[in-house]
Chains A and B, each alone.
Chain A
């Protein structure tokens, strides 16, 4: 692992290499770069110009300044587990990998906050403080390996966000390298109601288009005193869906309320963490309640009652932590598990009003039939965040296109049901055209204008999040022409 000698004549590579101090701080051979040609979204691939591994904020700032001064497109990358292509270098970017900035800088239990570097892995935070009775709430399914920096960029959600909120509700302060190389601090570490614009809210979920986060102050929570988990099998999706609504209308706020449909169950059962779910059920619910011990049993009792009223075939409470762990491992590896029943998958990320689930699932079934592709559904049912997983085989000519179209139609179905096109995975390159399902041109332009304030040369992660401005303007012009034609 001693640093290898540079073998290149490219002056940019040489200059970038001088700006990072760690061993083998730059990759530029095709064989190495190819590992970075996509992230968790694999339908678009492009080689970066180089990948650099800074060790601290100053090195990030130096790299950003160099790229900015020399007109080199660049972007930040964490573990590369994003599902919308936010870290794919579609313009041949210099990738600034933040994975070597992976320290837990400080923990302040008294004020319930911790400071981490962006490459620090989500689950490691909870693991580092759990013995003291604390944890970090946002728990995307990829929490075993995704970084908190990436969570900030995507405003990541997770199974337990129903009760505790998504990443943005847990971010108290950020250190950011702006696209010109300046370093700013925002959020003032959690002092409530800071005057001025809410930059913290703006940066969180900006998908790496406004700046590169180099230090993050997060909120940590006291671990709940008690926790109970219920698993319920339903013969009809309608019953499962109605049970979800009933539980919420009883005033219970579960920590998590997850649903999987038949094909999703087939996938997780064929994969590495099977639980033994029956193969012939249409839906299962995984319901978790937590909080102070008093009252948990009563909530569980009510949940069991609801399930029985809604014709549950079988319902059970996890007997111990081991069983609970098995149920969650089965659920949380659900996406990757699709590999066991399909060579490729495309995961979508729609949001719908809970009550519309049976109707939207019907539409998705129709889409599945139309394209001849199987679609599995994993659903954060409590907050209406639906993940249709379109299964396909990229080796079959034309099937990737079909999958993309089917995915897009699923999102249309969600938007038409009064929902949205993304709940937690971000827009990236995957859903930028679908932004039109939920925003009109003026709304898109208003947002693109904000990007221009921060990222005026559009070198940082360009071509993501919004339909390209050129096209936007063209469409606007066309619309205007049409209106004028109608008017005359």
Chain B
């Protein structure tokens, strides 16, 4: 029997009532914090939509605890509420006792995934994307190239015109429609450079996580990130051995893969003082690495050291200071708080500060700006119906009279762009650093013109 098969067998030494049979069990200290007060209910998008408590944070915590108490088993019925969670972490903001609901959900998913490996098309998607694609930069680049070919070669037009698109599931059609135009990946662009030097005097050296979706689908945002960093006196290093942050694997219950990727990143960035991330989901995951190693003190310590170095680009610029652009970008915008930025990392004011310091930018408040858009990693692929309903209520809150919606996460950008398309709106979806970069570019052009 191979080692792999061995790990698939639950240990039988456990004599407690618990129905969690695998290692890396949901941590009882996490649910001990929950006193069932219900303050989380209204913050939860799935509770709002269903009105059902098994789809609420405290309900899920109660269920997870019930399995440990032997009252429930790990089965399909248990899986449904645990996997319907968007992982948006809004409940952690609402919770008076700081219960780590997100951590519990992910630990429970880890148990479910081991007890009941994925089957059907969800299993296929999970295998293709999570195991076969995201951890492999080269394959991602190939995919990027293919997407680029798809867009540029006319195949896209052909697929759309011939009605070939109609055989795809509806939510995938909607996604295809908003696929961003593929630009060059920065990992490719800077593959021969050790350090991208600051413009002017060097004040700091930072490392950058390029991300997987970000670099392939939104290469220009990585470009913009490098521009604003170098513009503000930062040398930028892109460590070669970095890999996918593992967020999507961990959300889907594959914590083993999550740990593997985490270790690789901790190693890849071990010489870095600061790790800059421009994707809220990745940043949040990397700040959560210690949780992945809650049963492994040695790696937990390394993960803690690492996670202290991780900062979202907006927070980093806000904390270390940045030059206010001088050129005007006259536009009305609104800001959407990515869950993993606002709830996951407590970063709310910093991106707003960046945007408001761009001359000519007028910010319109979005009601419930920190409500999930439904993207939630690949939730919009695996739970399209719920994700669609969450998106619908999000889009109702987008003010009509704005030209752009700014945010700090690629997943949200894809989802919001889909919302704009689907609900006949016309706002442009942008990343916060893109706006800042545009303002700098404009300033440069004006200077050159003088």
Report Cα–Cα, A119/B78, bound state, in Å: 26
Contact B35–A339 (Cβ < 8 Å) = yes
> Is B389 part of the contact surface with A, judged by Cβ < 8 Å?
yes
Contact B38–A146 (Cβ < 8 Å) = yes
> Is A340 part of the contact surface with B, judged by Cβ < 8 Å?
yes
> Is B81 part of the contact surface with A, judged by Cβ < 8 Å?
yes
> Is B51 part of the contact surface with A, judged by Cβ < 8 Å?
yes
Which residue numbers of B lie inside 8 Å of A, CB to CB? 32-42, 49-54, 56, 59, 62-63, 66, 71-72, 75, 77-78, 80-81, 93-99, 385-386, 389
Which residue numbers of A lie inside 8 Å of B, CB to CB? 1-2, 24, 27, 29-32, 34-40, 42, 51, 53, 79-81, 97, 99-100, 102, 119, 121, 142, 144-146, 271-273, 333-340, 343-345, 393, 395
A34 contacts across to B, CB distance below 8 A: 54, 62-63, 66, 71-72
The tally of CB-CB contacts under 8 A between chains A and B is: 122
A335 contacts across to B, CB distance below 8 A: 35, 37, 96
**Chain B residue with Cβ nearest A31:** B77
B93 contacts across to A, CB distance below 8 A: 272
Contact A31–B72 (Cβ < 8 Å) = yes
In the assembled complex, how far is the CB of residue B31 from the closest CB belonging to chain A, in whole angstroms? 9
Contact A36–B37 (Cβ < 8 Å) = no
In the assembled complex, how far is the CB of residue A8 from the closest CB belonging to chain B, in whole angstroms? 13
A100 contacts across to B, CB distance below 8 A: 51
Sample 10 A-B pairs with CB under 8 A, ordered by A number: A1-B385, A2-B385, A31-B63, A31-B80, A39-B38, A40-B37, A79-B38, A142-B38, A339-B33, A344-B35
Sample of 17 further A-B pairs with CB below 8 A, known A34-B63, A345-B35: A1-B50, A24-B50, A29-B77, A34-B72, A35-B54, A35-B81, A40-B36, A42-B36, A121-B42, A145-B38, A145-B39, A145-B42, A272-B95, A336-B97, A338-B97, A339-B32, A395-B32
Contact pick for B53, options A35, A146, A334, A343, CB 8 Å: A35
B99 contacts across to A, CB distance below 8 A: 339
**Chain A residue with Cβ nearest B97:** A339
Contact A273–B37 (Cβ < 8 Å) = no
Report Cα–Cα, A97/B50, bound state, in Å: 12
Contact B52–A343 (Cβ < 8 Å) = no
Report Cα–Cα, A393/B41, bound state, in Å: 24
In the assembled complex, how far is the CB of residue B126 from the closest CB belonging to chain A, in whole angstroms? 21
Report Cα–Cα, A339/B98, bound state, in Å: 8
Contact B94–A35 (Cβ < 8 Å) = no
Given A34-B72, A80-B38, A81-B37, A343:B32 Cβ within 8 A: yes
Given A81-B38, A142-B38, A333-B39, A36:B53 Cβ within 8 A: yes
B34 contacts across to A, CB distance below 8 A: 339
Contact B38–A40 (Cβ < 8 Å) = yes
**Chain A residue with Cβ nearest B32:** A343
In the assembled complex, how far is the CB of residue A364 from the closest CB belonging to chain B, in whole angstroms? 20
Given A35-B59, A145-B38, A145-B41, A99:B98 Cβ within 8 A: no
Query: Of residues B37, B40, B42, B94, which shows the largest number of chain A Cβ atoms within 10 Å of its Cβ?
Result: B37
Contact B94–A144 (Cβ < 8 Å) = yes
Contact pick for B56, options A24, A35, A334, CB 8 Å: A35
Contact A79–B81 (Cβ < 8 Å) = no
Contact B50–A337 (Cβ < 8 Å) = no
Contact pick for A337, options B52, B71, B80, B97, CB 8 Å: B97
In the assembled complex, how far is the CB of residue A96 from the closest CB belonging to chain B, in whole angstroms? 12
Contact A79–B41 (Cβ < 8 Å) = yes
B52 contacts across to A, CB distance below 8 A: 24, 27, 32, 35, 51, 53, 97
Contact A144–B39 (Cβ < 8 Å) = yes
Report Cα–Cα, A34/B78, bound state, in Å: 11
Contact A142–B42 (Cβ < 8 Å) = no
**Chain B residue with Cβ nearest A102:** B51
B50 contacts across to A, CB distance below 8 A: 1, 24
A31 contacts across to B, CB distance below 8 A: 54, 63, 72, 75, 77-78, 80-81
**Chain A residue with Cβ nearest B78:** A31
Contact A42–B35 (Cβ < 8 Å) = yes
B98 contacts across to A, CB distance below 8 A: 271-272, 339-340
Report Cα–Cα, A31/B74, bound state, in Å: 10
Which are the 4 A-B pairs with shortest beta-carbon distances? A339-B97, A336-B96, A333-B96, A35-B59
B389 contacts across to A, CB distance below 8 A: 1
Contact B96–A272 (Cβ < 8 Å) = yes
Report Cα–Cα, A142/B37, bound state, in Å: 8
A343 contacts across to B, CB distance below 8 A: 32-33
Report Cα–Cα, A349/B223, bound state, in Å: 59
B39 contacts across to A, CB distance below 8 A: 142, 144-145, 333, 336
In the assembled complex, how far is the CB of residue B12 from the closest CB belonging to chain A, in whole angstroms? 24
In the assembled complex, how far is the CB of residue A296 from the closest CB belonging to chain B, in whole angstroms? 29
**Chain B residue with Cβ nearest A341:** B97
Report Cα–Cα, A80/B94, bound state, in Å: 17
Report Cα–Cα, A37/B72, bound state, in Å: 13
B54 contacts across to A, CB distance below 8 A: 27, 31-32, 34-35
**Chain A residue with Cβ nearest B33:** A339
Report Cα–Cα, A1/B94, bound state, in Å: 25
A336 contacts across to B, CB distance below 8 A: 35, 37, 39, 95-97
**Chain A residue with Cβ nearest B49:** A1
B38 contacts across to A, CB distance below 8 A: 39-40, 79-81, 142, 145-146
